[in-house]
Amino acid sequence: MCRELRMFESDKKNLKQKVCIIGAICAQNQRKTIFAFRNGKTVPRYFELKMNELESRQQQIIDEFGIFTDWMDKYEYLIELGKELEPMPDSEKTDENLIKGCQSQVWLTASCNGGIVTFRADSDAIITKGIIALLIKVLSGLSPKEIAEADLHFIDAIGLRENLSPTRSNGLASMVRQIKMFAIAFSNA
């Protein structure tokens, strides 16, 4: 999804001359590209900024959930996300890897290689498995610092918290807390 941004900037050679810059900010390739238009012609790219990876992922989730108008469809999408999780070996489904505070059983493991955290998870409940899959989709592959400091605004933006039962909402908070605890532990290692 793109949106237009209009602004005016002074020309470097002549401060009185205004240049209209129309920017198409697109999630495609996780870049913001701004094109300058002068006298109806496109001038080479004005500048390019790499979007923050976490923000890009959150926006992607918001866009994906924005397609659905009914929460039953959103739940079905969550279930599909859960089905896409890489299978977790039974050997990792231990009490040590269980997230405390979830109504359902949710197992979570994390590893950090080269400053990048990777999560693996599973659950015995299909919606809960979709929720943890959603969190992994956003947070896996980031640095410990990015994860620990993450403001997961997409959760409220898609209406997830308000459409979960109180027990599932508590489980979501427990999942986020455990993910951030892993990140903090890796930061301190």
CA dihedral 173, 160, 140, 130 (to 10 degrees): 100
Lowest mean per-residue pLDDT among 38-42, 132-136, 173-177: 38-42
CA 110 to CA 112: how far, in whole Å? 7
DSSP state of 182: H
Residues in the chain: 189
The pLDDT of residue 51 is 54
63: pLDDT strictly greater than 80: yes
Fold exhibited by the domain 53-188: Sufe protein. Chain: A (3.90.1010)
Tell how many helices (H) and how many strands (E) occur in the chain: 6, 6
> Mean pLDDT of all residues in the chain?
79
CA 134 to CA 33: how far, in whole Å? 28
- Express each pLDDT in 81-133 by its tens digit: 999 999 999 999 999 999 998 889 999 999 999 999 999 999 999 999 999 99
**Where are the alpha helices (H) located in the chain, listed in sequence order?**
53-66, 71-83, 126-139, 144-148, 154-157, 166-188
Tokens in use for 42? 């496109």
CA 106 to CA 120: how far, in whole Å? 11
- Decide: helix, strand or coil at residue 87: coil
DSSP state of 158: T
CA 26 to CA 34: how far, in whole Å? 10
CA 183 to CA 152: how far, in whole Å? 14
The pLDDT of residue 95 is 96
Tokens in use for 51? 């979007």
The pLDDT of residue 103 is 86
1: pLDDT strictly greater than 50: no
- Contacts of residue 3, Cβ cutoff 8 Å, sequence gap at least 6: 24, 25
Average of per-residue pLDDT across 139-166: 95
- The residues spanned by each domain of the chain are 2-50, 53-188
CA atoms within 13 A on the CB side of 30: 11
Active site residues: 102
29: pLDDT strictly greater than 50: no
Lowest mean per-residue pLDDT among 2-11, 32-41, 86-95, 155-164: 2-11
38: pLDDT strictly greater than 70: no
